[in-house]
Amino acid sequence: MEEKITLNHGNGTKSSYELIRKIFLPKLSNPILEELSDGANIGEYVFSCDAFTVSPISFPSSDIGKLSVFGTVNDICVSAAIPLYLSLSIIVEEGFYKKDLEKIIDSISFAAKISKVKIVTGDFKVVERKKVDKIFIVTSGIGKRIKKANPSMKKIKVKDKIILTGPIAEHGTAILLARNKIFDTHIKSDCSSLRDILIPLWEKFPQIKFMRDPTRGGLASVLNEISLATILGIRIFEEKVPIKKDVESACEILGIDPYYIASEGQAIIIAERSIAKDILKFLRNSGYKEAEIIGEISSKIKGVVVKTLTGGERILDFSYSLTIPRIC
């Protein structure tokens, strides 16, 4: 039977990971693309892009407009570059209300100001009704690399520490609840710009080895990608992983594992253990009070393992499937 693309191929799961490596990389091969970082290093600059198909297009505390700016801005920031310019492509369905479009452009404008980037080029397409689900937005971004920083997964070594800027799974849980309206909560998306925390952090700790924001596929998928690429094990401590009580409860009711659920305003930082505590202090002093050192790189285990509260261990699989499409 002819093989088909499934939702999992776009979910940040192992299916996505393999599709990218089996189809895209061999055909489009070049050394920059092969790094597969959130932002591509092109000389003094970083270049990044992201498509946003989130459903619903508005959700507690944010909407597709803000998400499409912050998403690309954050990808540039975790790549140790100062975001400068964005391109903006919008594909909208015929019959979309002009005032709803204006609201989204207002959100984009607000998010761009907050993130200190300029939208300098764009495209606007309209397609027939039912040929697109309301509105899709694609942003690309250019950032200026912070010279003294030079992150790369290749630098990651045994005993390096893993730091998380704040609580996990807020964005994905908020989207799921907004989509299904199962019960009322006050859970909000954490969708926000990481510029004002990450750029000063890079300036102060340019020796940070690697950063990524745990969006599609959540914390578990990012850690698994790192583990696969470095052929090193990762151990994290459940007691250290920040998660808000209501998010945890909602995930339990929804039957989903928060480790796989997207954040849109957090970063995972990997650094040598000698500076991990200083980084943590810096984050907490800068308003990221729930930041934690959540684990470390290890040669004694394979894959990603969580040391649970009860003292046991569970494996955080690089799952092939996730039931949650269109989180971003």
124-163 residues in contact with a copy of itself (CB under 8 A) are 124-128, 130-133, 136, 138, 140, 142
Residue placing its CB nearer to a copy of itself in the complex, 102 or 239: 102
Shortest approach of a copy of itself to residue 113 CB, angstroms? 10
What are the distances in angstroms from CA 225 to CA 14, 25, 69, 229? 9, 16, 24, 6
Shortest approach of a copy of itself to residue 219 CB, angstroms? 20
Regarding 2 and contact with a copy of itself (CB under 8 A), the answer is: yes
> How far is Cα 136 from Cα 108, in angstroms, rounded to an integer?
13
Q: Which of 61, 85, 114, 248 binds a copy of itself (CB under 8 A)?
A: 85
Regarding 28 and contact with a copy of itself (CB under 8 A), the answer is: yes
| Site size with a copy of itself, rule: CB under 8 A | 74
Residue count of the chain, please give it: 328
Rounded to 5 degrees, what angle do the CA atoms 50, 220, 231 make? 100
Nearest alpha-carbon partner for 74 in 39, 22, 105, 42: 39
Regarding 58 and contact with a copy of itself (CB under 8 A), the answer is: no
Question: Which amino acid is located at 153 in the chain?
Answer: M
> How far is Cα 202 from Cα 236, in angstroms, rounded to an integer?
23
Q: Where does residue 220 fall: left (phi above 0), alpha (psi -120 to 50 degrees), or beta otherwise?
A: alpha
Regarding 88 and contact with a copy of itself (CB under 8 A), the answer is: yes
Regarding 19 and contact with a copy of itself (CB under 8 A), the answer is: yes
Helix axes 245-254, 170-180, angle to 10 degrees: 50
Regarding 320 and contact with a copy of itself (CB under 8 A), the answer is: no
Residue placing its CB nearer to a copy of itself in the complex, 34 or 278: 34
Residue placing its CB nearer to a copy of itself in the complex, 124 or 289: 124
Residue placing its CB nearer to a copy of itself in the complex, 97 or 183: 97
- Residues in Cβ contact with 226 at an 8 Å cutoff, skipping those fewer than 6 apart: 153, 156, 210, 212, 232, 234, 270
Q: Which of 42, 158, 182, 315 binds a copy of itself (CB under 8 A)?
A: 42
Sign of the alpha-carbon torsion through 28, 89, 82, 293: negative
Shortest approach of a copy of itself to residue 71 CB, angstroms? 9
Residue placing its CB nearer to a copy of itself in the complex, 41 or 266: 41
Per-residue contact string for residues 267-286; x = within reach of a copy of itself by CB under 8 A: --------------------
Work out the number of other CB atoms within 10 angstroms of the CB of residue 260.
27
Residue placing its CB nearer to a copy of itself in the complex, 87 or 185: 87
Give residues 92-121 in contact with a copy of itself (rule: CB under 8 A).
92-99, 101-102, 105-106, 108-109, 112, 118-121
Residue placing its CB nearer to a copy of itself in the complex, 124 or 315: 124
> How far is Cα 261 from Cα 242, in angstroms, rounded to an integer?
13
Residue placing its CB nearer to a copy of itself in the complex, 84 or 275: 84
Instruction: Give Cα 9 to chain centroid, integer Å.
Output: 17
Give residues 209-248 in contact with a copy of itself (rule: CB under 8 A).
none
Peptide bond into 56 cis (omega under 30): yes
- Residues in Cβ contact with 114 at an 8 Å cutoff, skipping those fewer than 6 apart: 193, 195
Shortest approach of a copy of itself to residue 49 CB, angstroms? 4
